[in-house]
Structure 1
């Protein structure tokens, strides 16, 4: 890792100092979620236990961003240095052929409603994570979430904003309206939101996660979606109950190993961007025009590659890591020959969390309903909102490797990462929500940490910039922008304009996302955590 040099000049002062812990730490986007995790670690649980407790509590604390009807992915680093990925995502309906959507006269998949839904993989992923090394039962780990659901967590400012911006869709779904509105209007900040039906569902799934895929809960979900016109058979729902556990992807950067989640996530895009930038950024101001130009150029090229070639069941993504492709990408950035924008939107509602225990076990977990409150379609009587991942992640482009078809997973924006050294020691673990911003901001985080020696809080609070568009299905062909927080400063913004970037300036904390990072200071023997000041989270140590 590069030694910190003039960090006060390189990175603006964060709104809060980094959190410190001697043995164990968690970080998430909501205090109740972090509290659930640190309580587990403080009473002898491990990082997997903590992540599972945090995931369930986030269903209550961040209902617009995640839930039982969501998808989830995790990286797990074991004390022996092994790193595995757990993928939980589901298929669209077996009857959802290109011909079905063409007959419906749809130019693209709907972003909301029953035709946007994919079978949820989050519970399957959490069940697989539990099997990978938890020391406590799901019933015990999810009991705090059940209690919170019955009592109701106070509505946060973020959740109220989410509800206000989607109030019409929520009013149209009776169960969502009951759980999230008060006489048809958004709740006040601080008002408790009890969800007794969701409490019952969490209790039921803790006893038997498969109930969501092959049991009565699955039957109820499929029946409702079919009633609303989505051609699910139930077999594709059952198939979503098998999460994949496999080796993580990894790539070299600054003499370290960066581990990432495999497809259908875009983790490979982070590794490709880092490969393009390796050796180019360490001597640059991390927030100057030169560094931003390199990172933005690498992101633009990665998105062009994804839209042109990537599907969840193809290996086309591997081509981006070929040395010739990396060399050509570097030439294009140096010569300022970047591809035209292709599609996408950095918005999206997702939440990530990280946990490290005293044995060095680490988990980076991310789960999402896709857009805020997903499809805005509930499974009646359960408190479960379903995702809209199919509508967000699959194309209606004939012959494209990401064209919608039965048993093809839609592409994801979610990804999780961690960094180790050549001896397998854990150095950093992190993640962020934010749609197509994720692969860009995660690349920026890794660069801040490894190129410039930023601490965890400096990394998550550093001014962000976002190539728009990315690869979301609903925004193909949108005009190109480089969205920059104004904290980058006039000199950097002017330099980017001079290089031809279509700069759009936002407020000081406007980029979005809610990054979480835990770093290990092996010299001092402690953990250092950072939670993004753009949301309401906190890093806690024990």
Structure 2
């Protein structure tokens, strides 16, 4: 902890770069984009220039929080008719048809142009260095690549970059990505325009055309980020901000509204009632998410209704303490953590809560030859149901699970910035971490380390060790399908910075489930 600055991310190298930027006089946005660039290199299976990002940015001069939507859109060939002709009832979960326009690079540049004090050229230098010269493979990265060997081996460019004699690189070995370094140099020199209209775009478009993809050069050239207003609710005297649709930010806020109906603090965080009520509330929020959340440019999303306290009371009346009532999502595509999250607070109180992703491990499983660009598979989350608001359409953004958050005090000052990977599980991780701080008096580090639970598809309730045996038994009697699981990225990988209201010190929490690292001074 300390008063001068704080950073936290999924990798020590990224956090070190962010801290260095702040110490050299850069602000929170400068640090965040430098960290995002490094994470695109050192967590190449989780995020990168072929993926998307979302940011909440607090400007300390005005106290206002801005939302930057750095997600891409469906290609011009991505029509329901195309998939019908292919006799597909779902967008494939991987492969070339799951690729939508990558939005991350434009997001980087737009954030820096509006709130940064540095250039994209300067911000990307650490990332270029680690891509060009290499970085040590961690145990986690080695295991993650090993878990995706079949997917990686099926693509010659991926295999050449990430496999050694057909296997994952061993911990401690050096991973070099020369082609990615060259792409990053082009972006550094020419900005986002170089990526979306220059050589990288030409190679992406040619690859998509050759492989039967749905994104064209024109789709890439016209891509833009969108500045939006964050959505919010009040919770325990604080204002909690999240990202608006096309993300599940509203789902997180709905969970908070439902949680506030009960005296959860008195129940205790490991009690049967606490877990049961939280789980049932999560299921109800997910049901609304699956029904309504889509790109608001193409569909009417009733955000005001979903976040209404009256609606929460109406919905909450369906919950029963002694049995399950709510159904849960049964989506087998639920991502389990192939995403990165980072957060920064500088000495002036500027802050960034940022999440960046390829969706699945190594995204679509396709790398554009000669570029080092791993293309994401976020298009897999479009619906092909003509009655659903998330139905695929050219130029439409897909539903996103990505869910960065911030919390403000009653006077508008910053209380916390936090987030987590984890696909569907992100809102569940966020509410547990926030409750640990606000209700149970934990420090950020204690809050992110504490055992967690998560509702999975088909009603399965995964719990980490730490929940008492009698509580698990009682939950089972109430109808919960309890399954004890070892701690893993399936339960998220939370990062959190809390600002002490009196001392202004920044307190950091970094999740050991993700080899995360926080620095404050």
TM-score relative to the length of structure 1: 0.91
Instruction: Please name the residue that 2:316 is paired with.
Output: 330
Distance 2:415 2:324 in 1: 35
Evaluate the alpha carbon distance shift between residue 123 and residue 57 of structure 1 in structure 2; reply closer, same or farther with a 3 A threshold: same
Secondary structure (helix, strand or coil) at the match of 2:329 reads coil
Secondary structure (helix, strand or coil) at the match of 1:68 reads coil
State the 1:279 CA deviation: 5.0
Match of 2:386 among 398, 408, 411: 398
Evaluate the alpha carbon distance shift between residue 195 and residue 273 of structure 1 in structure 2; reply closer, same or farther with a 3 A threshold: same
Distance 1:526 1:359 in 2: 12
Instruction: Please name the residue that 1:342 is paired with.
Output: 329
Greater CA deviation, 107-116 or 175-184? Answer: 175-184
Instruction: Please name the residue that 1:29 is paired with.
Output: 10
Distance 1:463 1:148 in 2: 34
Match of 1:503 among 477, 482, 495: 482
Gapped regions of structure 2 (runs ≥ 5): none
Distance 2:165 2:419 in 1: 37
Alignment check: 8 A CA contact 2:338 2:361 kept: yes
Alignment check: 8 A CA contact 1:375 1:388 kept: yes
Greater CA deviation, 485-494 or 186-195? Answer: 485-494
Distance 2:129 2:287 in 1: 46
Matched, 1:316 2:301: yes
Evaluate the alpha carbon distance shift between residue 511 and residue 489 of structure 1 in structure 2; reply closer, same or farther with a 3 A threshold: farther
Instruction: Please name the residue that 2:278 is paired with.
Output: 295
Greater CA deviation, 522-531 or 109-118? Answer: 522-531
Residues matched between the structures, number? 512
Alignment check: 8 A CA contact 2:420 2:495 kept: yes
Alignment check: 8 A CA contact 1:25 1:518 kept: yes
State the 1:342 CA deviation: 2.8
Greater CA deviation, 45-54 or 399-408? Answer: 399-408
State the 1:266 CA deviation: 0.7
State the 1:346 CA deviation: 5.1
Match of 2:206 among 215, 223, 228: 223
Secondary structure (helix, strand or coil) at the match of 1:148 reads helix
Distance 1:151 1:366 in 2: 26
State the 1:271 CA deviation: 0.7
TM-score relative to the length of structure 2: 0.95
Secondary structure (helix, strand or coil) at the match of 2:251 reads helix
Evaluate the alpha carbon distance shift between residue 348 and residue 525 of structure 1 in structure 2; reply closer, same or farther with a 3 A threshold: closer
Instruction: Please name the residue that 2:87 is paired with.
Output: 105
Greater CA deviation, 350-359 or 516-525? Answer: 516-525
Alignment check: 8 A CA contact 1:485 1:510 kept: no
Greater CA deviation, 287-296 or 71-80? Answer: 287-296
Alignment check: 8 A CA contact 2:337 2:489 kept: no
State the 1:247 CA deviation: 1.8
Distance 2:212 2:487 in 1: 44
Name the Cα RMSD after superposition: 1.5
Match of 2:397 among 409, 419, 441: 409
Q: 1:521-536 counterparts in 2 under 5 A?
A: 521-536=500-515
Secondary structure (helix, strand or coil) at the match of 1:106 reads coil
Alignment check: 8 A CA contact 2:324 2:480 kept: no
Alignment check: 8 A CA contact 2:56 2:404 kept: yes
Instruction: Please name the residue that 2:20 is paired with.
Output: 39
Instruction: Please name the residue that 2:472 is paired with.
Output: 493
Distance 1:73 1:430 in 2: 13
Matched, 1:444 2:426: no
Secondary structure (helix, strand or coil) at the match of 1:411 reads coil
Secondary structure (helix, strand or coil) at the match of 2:171 reads coil
Distance 1:105 1:295 in 2: 40
Runs (4 or more) in structure 1 with deviation over 6 Å come to none
Match of 2:353 among 360, 364, 388: 364
State the 1:142 CA deviation: 1.2
Distance 1:341 1:153 in 2: 41
Secondary structure (helix, strand or coil) at the match of 1:21 reads coil
Distance 2:193 2:250 in 1: 30
Secondary structure (helix, strand or coil) at the match of 1:491 reads helix
Matched, 1:434 2:426: no
Alignment check: 8 A CA contact 2:257 2:309 kept: no
Kindly provide the CA deviation profile for residues 262-282 of structure 1, in whole angstroms up to 9, marking residues without a partner as x: 111110111111011115222
State the 1:287 CA deviation: 2.3
